[in-house]
């Protein structure tokens, strides 16, 4: 399955199978994991059945009842952050082999995931409740009381392929520091990195019964997991249509959903064009555009439109598309050939309806070249849907109000960027944009892992970001004392 050369870059135990009820397991059904770049086999993992999901959820629910003091949770998560740092090169190699990130991008993600675990450990100091103002009503006389944050119980975590480590850390870290048990169903394309992260957590000292990782298919294992009656909260990250199916299957359960994006960037009349163009190129083509924060739509003041388009198109053409492992590569493959074919067909559709191809448009296998379009009709899917590929559409405007209206004219609402030097205009635009976060003098493609993160409309339900995830994964428990007179 794995060559000696592969094993040299993999974590100490090459991950495979699944893990639940304190044991690594090999299951009757299995899924193969292939490198999207050349189709080579990278590993084999479990393809768990609904019966196996049931077994795992019951085991985690039972283990979650055992005491695990907060100080130990903090120490273990801090140790896990350190261990991940020590194994950074092995993780970057594994993530880049099974997924679509270049080695350079994978290294950056490992550093962020280690920080996410560190931030999760630090949440120990913020797991505080409050005393209740019972004296504010006559009926409260003779009583004192307070509330404390209690773990919800069992968290079902479902994650996508595009950030296969940090988005898993964003679920496991907060769930564990808050005292929960957690069952993870990673993406079909990238389960190996998730399995390796569970190894790190176990090596750091997470009680083995509290965590499970169940590779499997979304519509079978994922569905069985979110609809399980012993699951108390579903934390989902993925596309909107999968999220909608998850919400229906989960029923009346707590859910947090981080869904898709179709992020706009506004470049106003007084903006620094070169700085805006450089940031747009990085935000549109990083991770080959497979990023919920990817810059998909640019609205630029007409007076700057030609200069900006020329800058962006020239920079897009200069990007090196190729082998993920080569440090000189800027843009790797999409997650599979089908994804690249879909992106290519959306670009063709836009061109057939009048759009101008300023750069890119080429595809070979899973690789799609960075593509810049202008004159795109408002109904084209590259504007209305989430592209999730290296394609950016540039539209010019003369009235800012109209540009904000166009930016908001989408079912999504994750993040947006605005380039301008005028503070009043910047703040007015920020207030009018219907999104979870606005980046002034930057693109949509920026996130600090500690900030409240999430979107409106089809971009999500609730917020993550380490602290907000911890809040979502706890519930207030009130205790009142009737004091003897």
Interface residues with ligand NAD (CB under 6 A)? 158-163, 167, 185-188, 218-219, 222-223, 226, 237-239, 242, 245-246, 249, 258-261, 292, 386, 388, 414, 460
The residue to which tokens 């993406």 are assigned: 187
Nearer to ligand NAD, 79 or 293 (CB): 293
The terminus-to-terminus CA distance of the chain in angstroms comes to 74
Report the distance separating Cα 432 and Cα 396, nearest Å: 19
Burial class of residue 394, CB neighbours in 10 A (0-12, 13-18, 19+): buried
In terms of phi and psi (left: phi > 0; alpha: psi -120 to 50; beta: otherwise), the region of 215 is: beta
Report the distance separating Cα 86 and Cα 358, nearest Å: 44
CB of 188 to ligand NAD, least distance (A): 5
CB of 447 to ligand NAD, least distance (A): 9
DSSP-derived letter for residue 288 is G
CB of 308 to ligand NAD, least distance (A): 25
Nearer to ligand NAD, 276 or 466 (CB): 466
Report the distance separating Cα 160 and Cα 176, nearest Å: 20
Told to judge if 292 belongs to the known catalytic residues of this protein, a careful annotator would answer yes
Quick check: 185 and 222 in contact, CB under 8 A? yes
CB of 248 to ligand NAD, least distance (A): 8
Given 188, 258, 358, 386, the catalytic residue: 258
Told to judge if 263 belongs to the known catalytic residues of this protein, a careful annotator would answer no
Nearer to ligand NAD, 214 or 319 (CB): 214
Nearer to ligand NAD, 74 or 297 (CB): 297
Nearer to ligand NAD, 242 or 395 (CB): 242
Given 292, 358, 386, 464, the catalytic residue: 292
How far from 231 is each of 215, 227, 307, CA to CA, in Å? 17, 8, 53
Quick check: 255 and 227 in contact, CB under 8 A? no
Q: Is the dihedral of CA 149, 151, 157, 159 positive or negative?
A: positive
In the numeric block, which tokens belong to residue 419? 């380039």
CB of 484 to ligand NAD, least distance (A): 52
Nearer to ligand NAD, 124 or 156 (CB): 156
CB of 301 to ligand NAD, least distance (A): 28
Quick check: 175 and 155 in contact, CB under 8 A? yes
- Residues annotated as catalytic are 258, 292
């Amino acid at each position: 399955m794995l060559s000696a050369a592969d094993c040299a870059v993999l974590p100490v135990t090459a991950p495979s199978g699944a893990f639940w009820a304190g044991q690594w397991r090999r299951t009757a059904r299995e899924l193969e994991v292939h490198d999207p770049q050349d189709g080579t086999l990278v590993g084999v993992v479990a393809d768990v059945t609904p019966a196996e999901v049931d077994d795992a959820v019951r085991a985690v629910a039972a283990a979650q009842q055992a005491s695990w003091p907060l100080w130990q949770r903090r120490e273990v998560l801090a140790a896990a952050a350190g261990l991940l740092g020590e194994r950074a090169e092995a993780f970057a190699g594994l993530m880049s082999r099974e997924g679509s990130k270049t080695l350079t991008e994978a290294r950056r993600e490992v550093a962020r995931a280690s920080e996410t675990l560190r931030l999760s450990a630090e949440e120990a100091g913020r797991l505080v409740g409050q005393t209740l103002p019972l004296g504010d009503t006559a009926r409260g006389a003779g009583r004192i009381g307070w509330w404390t944050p209690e773990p919800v119980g069992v968290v079902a975590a479902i994650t996508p392929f595009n950030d296969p480590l940090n988005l898993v850390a964003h679920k496991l870290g907060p769930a564990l520091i808050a005292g929960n048990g957690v069952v993870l169903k990673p993406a079909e394309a990238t389960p190996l990195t998730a399995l390796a992260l569970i190894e790190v957590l176990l090596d750091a000292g997470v009680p083995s019964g509290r965590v499970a990782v169940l590779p499997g298919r979304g519509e079978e294992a994922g569905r069985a997991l979110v609809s399980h009656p012993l699951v108390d909260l579903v934390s989902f990250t993925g596309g909107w249509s999968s999220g909608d199916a998850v919400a229906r299957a989960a029923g009346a359960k707590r859910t947090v959903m981080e869904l898709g994006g179709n992020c706009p960037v506004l470049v106003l009349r007084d903006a620094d064009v070169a700085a805006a163009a450089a940031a747009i190129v990085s935000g549109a083509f990083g991770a080959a555009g497979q990023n919920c924060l990817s810059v998909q739509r640019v609205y630029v003041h007409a007076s700057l439109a030609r200069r900006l388009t020329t800058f962006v198109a020239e920079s897009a053409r200069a990007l090196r598309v190729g082998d993920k492992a080569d440090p000189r590569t800027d843009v790797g493959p999409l997650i599979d050939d089908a994804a690249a074919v879909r992106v290519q067909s959306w670009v063709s559709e836009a061109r057939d309806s009048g759009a101008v191809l300023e750069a890119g448009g080429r595809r070979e296998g899973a690789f799609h070249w960075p593509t810049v379009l202008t004159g795109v009709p408002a109904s084209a899917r590259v504007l209305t849907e989430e592209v999730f590929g290296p394609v950016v559409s540039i539209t010019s405007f003369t009235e800012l109000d109209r540009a904000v209206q166009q930016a908001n004219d989408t079912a999504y609402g994750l993040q947006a960027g605005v380039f301008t030097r005028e503070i009043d205009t910047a703040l007015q635009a920020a207030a009018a944009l219907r999104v979870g976060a606005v980046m002034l003098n930057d693109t949509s493609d920026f996130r600090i892992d500690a900030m409240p993160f999430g979107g409106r409309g089809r971009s999500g339900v609730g917020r993550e970001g380490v602290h907000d995830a911890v809040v979502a994964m706890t519930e207030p428990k009130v205790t009142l004392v009737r004091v003897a007179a």
